[in-house]
Amino acid sequence: MPTAQDSELLTRVGPGTPMGNLMREYWLPACKSAEVKADGAPLRLVLLGEKLIAWRDSAGRIGVMDHRCPHRRASLFFGRNEEGGLRCVYHGWKFDVAGKCLDMPNVPPQYAFRDKAGAKAYKAEERNGMVWVYMGARETAPPLPSFEAALLPEAELNSFWVQRECNWLQALEGDIDTSHLGFLHDGKVMPEDLAEGTIHRWAVANRAPDYDIAETDWGVMYGAHRDGGPGHTYYRFAHFMFPCWTLIPAGNFGHYVTARGWIPLDDTHTMFISLSWRQNRSTPRLRPDGTPLPGARFDLRYLPNTTDWHGRWRPVQNKENDYEIDREVQRDQSFTGIEGIHMQDQAVTESMGPITDHENEHLTISDLMIARTRQRLLHAAKALAQSGATPPGVDNPESYLGARGGDFVAPAALGWRDAYAAELRNSVSPTGRLRVAVAAE
């Protein structure tokens, strides 16, 4: 388990913190493109502990900047978005999407200093129907991310966003904790409850899998493995990808392109972003009669978005209503009594508190992927702070294209890395960019 000092380093993401500085080396999604309209109202954002606004000018260009006007620090959220710029309502100063001051109407021309009065703005790009922001110090930003799901055109991409009220790391770690599947989601599911031929049967037949774990160019990967029938092994592969992305094993490996972002809004709020190929083949979770298992629903219900700093993409099921837990259903039908796989995860990670108390954890062999991921993050953040070492994947985003998550059955005679490589070679590649050569262990 991490020391108190390392725990602080892992979880704090504000300006000047080691983990915050690491995160700022990468492009991060800030909002959906559709959330910001040309000449429309500015959108309040919190990202890496900074209060920002996003807005779109008359030409459709995106701006992401500090919400405070550089003149007297009034909030530009109240600004007038007009004629190619955002005008502060306090004294009329106007700024373009790059933060350049265009007008100082309350200052006599001979005293104006527009070239020195710019607003703090960040580089912003749009792709996949999302606004990506680079908050780092480089004058020339690194390339945008290149993992498979991030390269899919918007027409081939499903995405949803959900805010989670807890630290980014404990939220992310739920995705790289494979053994919770057999309890939180499938605790009352027996092999015979699943349709014949469903490989998910192997997961519920053995709820304590063995693991192989390796560091990779993009982060850390694991292969959880169980008996898969005579002469075969059932694998579930998943990945942590720098700085805050995961690939989960919830679908047929060869036809499953997905990525899940755990974007730190601040130390105690996280925006979960799911990106998935529209033609994905998810692992079936059906009874023999074809009906869904209890609690297995994926759809989400949202509260209305508000203009509060944390007012976006909040679920109806939340800690205020105990995630609508149904104790009768919990006793007779599902392990949790909470409807929806995502909400089951949300309930347990938020129940840990705003930031998990790492000092009182008791990690076991089933938490090895979590421990190795923490170590990798600590090493990268400390290397950046101490020597300026560029974090993994920043300048070589193509390295992420060797990462794919999913499940499959392979001959038991194959080693785990050979089984992974063989599945990659036989996988569909909707972007045409999948790399079949993976990093050495």
Q: Is residue 295 part of a domain?
A: yes
Where among 141, 159, 175 does a domain terminate?
141
Does the bond joining 243 to the residue before it have cis omega, within 30 degrees of 0?
yes
Q: What is the CATH classification number for the domain harbouring 55?
A: 2.102.10.10
Q: Is residue 273 part of a domain?
A: yes
Q: How far apart are CA 294 and CA 332, in angstroms?
A: 10
The domain of 180 spans 150-425
Model confidence band, residue 290 (pLDDT cutoffs 50, 70, 90): confident
Q: Is residue 414 part of a domain?
A: yes
Q: Which of 8, 62, 12, 70 is nearest to 36 (CA)?
A: 62
- Both 85 and 177 in one domain: the answer is no
The 10s digit of each residue's pLDDT in 352-365 is 999 999 999 999 99
Q: How far apart are CA 286 and CA 92, in angstroms?
A: 60
Per the structure block, which two tokens stand in for 353?
A: 């508190």
- Number of compact structural domains in the chain: 2
- Both 190 and 115 in one domain: the answer is no
Query: DSSP states of 111-160 as a string?
Result: G--GGG----EEEEEEETTEEEEE-SS-SSPPPPP-SHHHHS-GGGEEEE
- Both 313 and 202 in one domain: the answer is yes
Please state, rounded to an integer, the average pLDDT across all residues of the chain: 94
Q: How far apart are CA 23 and CA 264, in angstroms?
A: 9
Residue 105: is it exposed, middle or buried by C-beta count within 10 angstroms (0-12/13-18/19+)? Answer: exposed
The 10s digit of each residue's pLDDT in 181-195 is 999 998 998 988 887
CA angle 395, 370, 425 (to 5 degrees): 55
Q: Is the pLDDT of residue 71 over 60?
A: yes
Q: pLDDT value at position 134?
A: 98
215 vs 282: which has the higher pLDDT: 215
Q: pLDDT value at position 272?
A: 98
- Mean pLDDT over 249-275 rounds to 97
- Both 133 and 164 in one domain: the answer is no
Q: Residue 251 in contact with residue 282, Cβ under 8 Å? A: yes
State the pTM of this model: 0.95
CA angle 195, 201, 207 (to 5 degrees): 150
- Both 109 and 169 in one domain: the answer is no
Q: pLDDT value at position 45?
A: 98
In 3-state terms the chain splits into helix, strand, coil percentages (rounded to 5) of 30, 25, 45
Single-letter amino acid code for the residue at 377? L
Q: Where are the beta strands (DSSP E) in 39-93?
A: 43-47, 50-56, 62-66, 80-82, 85-87
- Both 322 and 198 in one domain: the answer is yes
Helix (H, G, I), strand (E, B) or coil at 405: coil
Q: Residue 349 in contact with residue 342, Cβ under 8 Å? A: no
CA torsion through residues 100, 105, 107, 110, sign: positive
Q: Is the pLDDT of residue 2 over 90?
A: no
The 10s digit of each residue's pLDDT in 136-175 is 999 999 999 999 999 999 999 999 999 999 999 999 999 9
Residues linked to residue 409 through DSSP beta bridges, in sequence order: 234
Q: pLDDT value at position 435?
A: 87
- Both 215 and 129 in one domain: the answer is no
- Both 102 and 207 in one domain: the answer is no
Please name the residue that has the structure tokens 């913190």: 17
Q: pLDDT value at position 438?
A: 54
Residue 20: is it exposed, middle or buried by C-beta count within 10 angstroms (0-12/13-18/19+)? Answer: buried
Sequence-separated contacts (24+) of 430-436 with Cβ below 8 Å = 430/148, 430/152, 430/156, 430/257, 430/277, 430/279, 431/148, 431/151, 431/152, 431/257, 433/146, 433/148, 433/151, 433/398, 433/401, 434/148, 434/401, 434/402, 434/404, 435/398, 435/401, 435/402, 436/402
- Both 156 and 291 in one domain: the answer is yes
Measured torsion, CA atoms of residues 302, 304, 307, 309, in degrees rounded to the nearest 10:
-30
Q: Is the pLDDT of residue 436 over 90?
A: no
Model confidence band, residue 439 (pLDDT cutoffs 50, 70, 90): very low
- Both 79 and 222 in one domain: the answer is no
Counting Cα atoms < 13 Å in the Cβ hemisphere of 165 gives 15
- Mean pLDDT over 415-430 rounds to 96
- Both 162 and 136 in one domain: the answer is no
In this structure, of 31-40, 259-268, 296-305, 369-378, the range with the lowest mean pLDDT score is: 296-305
Q: Is the pLDDT of residue 440 over 70?
A: no
- Mean pLDDT over 382-410 rounds to 96
Q: Is residue 16 part of a domain?
A: no
Phi, psi of 410 (to 5 degrees): -130, 160
The rounded percent of the chain whose pLDDT value lies above 90 is: 87
Q: Is the pLDDT of residue 294 over 80?
A: no
- Mean pLDDT over 378-399 rounds to 97
Q: How far apart are CA 244 and CA 264, in angstroms?
A: 8
Q: Which of 224, 262, 421, 222 is nearest to 345 (CA)?
A: 262
Q: Is residue 12 part of a domain?
A: no
Where among 88, 108, 141 does a domain terminate?
141
The 10s digit of each residue's pLDDT in 77-132 is 999 999 999 999 999 999 999 999 999 999 999 999 989 999 999 999 999 999 99
Q: Is the pLDDT of residue 407 over 70?
A: yes
